[in-house]
Structure 1
Amino acid sequence: MKLQFSSSVASLLLILLPLSYAFPARRADESASNPGLKGSKTLIGYSPSEKVGSTTTPDIKYSLLPGQTNDPDIGTWLDFSKVDNPQPIRGDTGGDDPGPRNLNYDRIHSDKLAPPGTDHGATINAQWPMGLSHNRLGIDNAGWARQENTVVMPAATEMAGVDMRLEPAAYRELHWHVASEWSLILNGSCRIQAVNENGETFVDDLTAGDVWFFPPGIPHSIQALDDGVEFLLVFDDGGFNEDNTFLATEVFLHSPKEVLAKNLGVSIADFEDIPDDELYIFKGTPAPKDIEEQNVTTSSGVVPRTKSYSYHFSEQEPHEVAGGSVKIVDPSTFPLASNFSAAVVTVHPGGMREIHWHPSSDEWTFFIKGQGRATIFTAPEAANTFDFMAGDVGYFPQSNSHYIENTGQEDLVFLEVLQASEFTDVALGQWIASTPKQIISDTLKLSDSTLSKLKTEKQYVVAGSTSDE
């Protein structure tokens, strides 16, 4: 006779059975004997040891800087450089960090670890250290080059940069680009040479602080003089890749020798010794002391002065202001660089590049000397603060307000580059001071005494500190 159980009876039996029968116990030796590479299914779900929570409490020892106890909205810069265990704390915000972490990053990026209370949401990543870029090394110890583009800084779509070093007598091989090339010499000196589409020739010697510009497609070369040279290149395409330039060696390597011989009016045998690979950065014969020896002229003559590829920016006197100085070069003085405008800004300790924005262009910034911080504000309410050091690239999109404050003990020097026919900006201070006081008072609730202190003239660089520590 076959027994049949109703579902209710079966349920009752399960209740009456010992728990060990209803839910088979884990086999004691299932994981203990040989847990294997992937452990055991017995570890799924509730802890077999019935232990809940950690058995140890991290012993975090730290001390706070004076500025960390301030109201977070004051946003005092925090110098973590000599702090043993910096913490993500500002006033009554944040909490301690037991790790894991990289203390080196935390010490030099205090505004990322403990951002001001005025930061909110997420802007673009406005910072890239060239020190984290892959460094391409030249042959025979001739130099190196490292770049920043949208691969490492996706939001920097309008401009890209290259930091390049050439040892004495070294060349940046004869080449041309699809993008425009604007350059500031950081140190040393070099000789630049070019031939334009009309056959007009150009050669000039430049030194630290000077600028050059080569339009798209203009073939040119750069050779370091006796002291070597380091220069910054800025291109008008954020996706520019320095490795994709058109090189003289590659043109010869990828053109049939019969075609080359026919084109140049020589024999095929004349190409037996051409390099079997690109040179890129390599050492050559030192340039002659007398630049006249390299003046090659054609029936078209030389490039006219009004279309010169160089501008001796080093000889331009800076505009001195209370907190530092500013030097500006744009097409009004360097016409050929028709869409490049730039400023070299020096900020004394305690000072800052005033809060401003550029209404017609993104800003690509390179930090040449010192250290500083900047807050980028993106409408409607995103704001992030970044710490910058020499060798870093900053990027501030069009109309995004920002400042750059010197947080070090030496002068802060940086380059601002715009894609614009004129260097312009809108200064927050000038805007507020030049607007009827009634409007500002009604909007911002500033007192008449405060409004009377504001300056209607653009400051560029503001001196001193307004910290209320």
Structure 2
Amino acid sequence: MKLQVYPWTLSLLLALLTAVDAAPARRSSNPSLRGSETLVGYSSTEKVASGTQPDIKYSLLPGQTVSPDIGAYLDFEKVENPQPIRGSTGSDDPGPRNYAYDRINSDKLAPPGTDNGQTINAQWPMGLSHNRLGIDNAGWARQENTVVMPAATEMAGVDMRLEPGGYRELHWHVAAEWSLVLNGSCRIQAVNTDGQTFVDDLSAGDVWFFPPGIPHSIQALDDGVEFLLVFDQGDFDEDNTFLATEVFLHTPKSVLAKNLGVSISAFDDIPDDELYIFEGTPAPADIEKQNVTTQSGVVPRTESYSYHFSEQAAHEVAGGSVKIVDPLTFPIASNFSAAIVTVHPGGMREIHWHPTSDEWTFFIQGQGRATLFLHLMLPQRLTTALSNSHYIENTGDEDLMFLEVLQATQFTDMALGQWIASTPKQIVKDTLNLSNSTLSKLKTEKQYVVAGSTTS
């Protein structure tokens, strides 16, 4: 093989040879991987570096200079260098650190003086969950379960998006599935154990429920859909559901043919992998075209798998509104009770607790501050253990909206204000040392959401 050498080639070769020749010298001056034994312990020749005090530039918010027990909300959103300081407690932090997290979790960086130490991890942003992407841009799904929130043992959640015409393929779960449509619209379909069929169209704000083992599918309509799924098992894994494609893929074709009464060749074109989320033929506008008629008939209205929660008017209160759906109005979801709560700016979901269930909460809109001294930004979810008192305060300048889900046959709570106001005044006065003037202002009715000023 003949090597053609050009002038620039020769120059390059000379440069490379020079570099190679010089390499051993550079290697010999490179420090070894480990240090000397003389570095262990005290040495009379040891020198401590001086002048290393970091120059930290920051300014404190007004709420950081008052008593920590007031627990003023600290809005670090626009603070360049937020610091873990409240009154005379805490100290500056030179970093490095994740400033984005510090800005949206101010009560973790600088907790109120009323804080009583470390709590369970009760907050998980869906934005940190693994996102499973569908085929051909058909959608995605991300979940929360005990893998990321070990204390949330009673319920798990999935946030799922389907593009127009996109399917969540035919499947079933070992867990019960409760869902709230967040935006868009979809068509759901199912068959129950008696062979009765079900199909319905749902839009934003509506709810569906499928008991364990009931096979069903979900298809987005023309505007696509995003929905929240809540399951009654904290360790539920959306990736481990039973899919129609998997049943067909992992059953011998001869068995399928015998079972369904068709030839083996009928299965020549089945998918070679699970679909999970995929693009399909758009659903017909006339839902009756997909209302399959069988000898068993359709699912009775009293056992319907859907509830048009979007058409239910909200109960208005001073600081916002509340509306509830539970087995009293949606019987098929026998152990799911839920409320959508709207809190106006400055207001708060009153201090309360649920005697019979943990609470699983999903933040739909706005930002808020919860009892566990978390600053919550959408989209988040929060869990509160059975009978632990809590509140959620709107710390933003728009309405805060969130979903509370209980594993209960009826949505119930105990309100701090109602309890204290309904207890003999002398008992409360002896216990809490409250004045008669204060006691006279307490209300014996639940407030659900109390109004407040954004400047107080």
Q: TM-score, normalised by structure 2?
A: 0.93
In 1, the alpha carbon distance for the partners of 2:297 and 2:407 equals: 31
Query: Which string of whole-angstrom CA distances, capped at 9 and with x for unpartnered residues, describes residues 304-352 of structure 1?
Result: 0000000000000000000000010000000000000000000000000
Residue equivalent to 2:125: 129
Name which of 310, 317, 331 aligns with 1:335. Answer: 331
Q: Residue 172 of structure 1 contacts residue 221 of structure 1 at CA under 8 Å; is this kept in 2?
A: yes
The structure-2 alpha-carbon separation of the partners of 1:89 and 1:260, relative to structure 1 and needing over 3 Å to count, comes to same
Deviation at 1:229, TM superposition (A): 0.2
Q: Determine if the alignment matches structure 1 residue 88 to structure 2 residue 84.
A: yes
In 2, the alpha carbon distance for the partners of 1:337 and 1:54 equals: 67
Name which of 263, 268, 275 aligns with 1:272. Answer: 268
Q: Determine if the alignment matches structure 1 residue 447 to structure 2 residue 435.
A: yes
Name which of 332, 353, 378 aligns with 1:390. Answer: 378
Deviation at 1:122, TM superposition (A): 1.7
Name which of 75, 78, 102 aligns with 1:79. Answer: 75
Residue equivalent to 1:363: 359
Deviation at 1:50, TM superposition (A): 2.4
Deviation at 1:466, TM superposition (A): 8.9
In 2, the alpha carbon distance for the partners of 1:33 and 1:225 equals: 68
The structure-2 alpha-carbon separation of the partners of 1:275 and 1:118, relative to structure 1 and needing over 3 Å to count, comes to same
Deviation at 1:49, TM superposition (A): 4.0
**Where in structure 2 are the equivalents of 1:6-21 lying within 5 Å?**
none
The structure-2 alpha-carbon separation of the partners of 1:288 and 1:108, relative to structure 1 and needing over 3 Å to count, comes to same
SS in 1 for 2:76: coil
Name which of 36, 39, 47 aligns with 1:51. Answer: 47
**Where in structure 2 are the equivalents of 1:251-330 lying within 5 Å?**
251-330=247-326
In 2, the alpha carbon distance for the partners of 1:95 and 1:57 equals: 14
Residue equivalent to 1:62: 58
Q: Residue 143 of structure 1 contacts residue 164 of structure 1 at CA under 8 Å; is this kept in 2?
A: yes
In 2, the alpha carbon distance for the partners of 1:327 and 1:37 equals: 65
Deviation at 1:298, TM superposition (A): 1.2
In 2, the alpha carbon distance for the partners of 1:33 and 1:290 equals: 80
Query: Which string of whole-angstrom CA distances, capped at 9 and with x for unpartnered residues, describes residues 367-405 of structure 1?
Result: 0000001013xxxxxxxx111111101000000110000
Residue equivalent to 2:421: 433
Deviation at 1:121, TM superposition (A): 1.6
Q: Residue 152 of structure 2 contacts residue 383 of structure 2 at CA under 8 Å; is this kept in 1?
A: yes
Q: Residue 156 of structure 2 contacts residue 231 of structure 2 at CA under 8 Å; is this kept in 1?
A: yes
The structure-2 alpha-carbon separation of the partners of 1:467 and 1:226, relative to structure 1 and needing over 3 Å to count, comes to closer
Residue equivalent to 2:444: 456
The structure-2 alpha-carbon separation of the partners of 1:361 and 1:46, relative to structure 1 and needing over 3 Å to count, comes to same
In 1, the alpha carbon distance for the partners of 2:454 and 2:386 equals: 27
Q: Structure 1: which 5+ residue stretches go unaligned?
A: 1-31, 377-384
SS in 1 for 2:239: helix
Q: Name the aligned partner's letter for residue 393 of structure 1.
A: R
Q: Name the aligned partner's letter for residue 297 of structure 1.
A: T
The structure-2 alpha-carbon separation of the partners of 1:193 and 1:450, relative to structure 1 and needing over 3 Å to count, comes to same
Q: TM-score, normalised by structure 1?
A: 0.90
Q: Determine if the alignment matches structure 1 residue 40 to structure 2 residue 36.
A: yes
Residue equivalent to 1:23: none
Q: Name the aligned partner's letter for residue 210 of structure 1.
A: D
Q: Determine if the alignment matches structure 1 residue 345 to structure 2 residue 333.
A: no
State the identity %: 82
Q: Name the aligned partner's letter for residue 197 of structure 1.
A: T
In 2, the alpha carbon distance for the partners of 1:47 and 1:233 equals: 63
Deviation at 1:78, TM superposition (A): 0.4
The total of aligned residue pairs comes to 429
Deviation at 1:110, TM superposition (A): 0.4
In 2, the alpha carbon distance for the partners of 1:65 and 1:55 equals: 29
Residue equivalent to 1:184: 180
SS in 2 for 1:430: helix
Deviation at 1:55, TM superposition (A): 3.4
Name which of 389, 397, 402 aligns with 1:401. Answer: 389
SS in 2 for 1:216: coil
Residue equivalent to 1:417: 405
**Where in structure 2 are the equivalents of 1:113-192 lying within 5 Å?**
113-192=109-188
SS in 2 for 1:250: helix
Q: Name the aligned partner's letter for residue 444 of structure 1.
A: L
Deviation at 1:100, TM superposition (A): 1.6
SS in 2 for 1:417: strand
Query: Which string of whole-angstrom CA distances, capped at 9 and with x for unpartnered residues, describes residues 50-80 of structure 1?
Result: 2236432111111100010010000010011
In 2, the alpha carbon distance for the partners of 1:243 and 1:176 equals: 12
Residue equivalent to 2:6: none
SS in 2 for 1:79: coil
In 1, the alpha carbon distance for the partners of 2:48 and 2:391 equals: 49
Deviation at 1:105, TM superposition (A): 0.8
In 2, the alpha carbon distance for the partners of 1:401 and 1:463 equals: 19
SS in 1 for 2:167: strand
Q: Name the aligned partner's letter for residue 420 of structure 1.
A: A
Q: Residue 210 of structure 1 contacts residue 312 of structure 1 at CA under 8 Å; is this kept in 2?
A: yes
In 2, the alpha carbon distance for the partners of 1:55 and 1:70 equals: 32
**Where in structure 2 are the equivalents of 1:103-118 lying within 5 Å?**
103-118=99-114
Q: Residue 76 of structure 1 contacts residue 467 of structure 1 at CA under 8 Å; is this kept in 2?
A: no
Deviation at 1:39, TM superposition (A): 1.8
CA RMSD across the alignment: 1.3
Query: Which string of whole-angstrom CA distances, capped at 9 and with x for unpartnered residues, describes residues 400-434 of structure 1?
Result: 11000000000000000000000000000000110
Q: Structure 2: which 5+ residue stretches go unaligned?
A: 1-27
In 2, the alpha carbon distance for the partners of 1:47 and 1:325 equals: 70
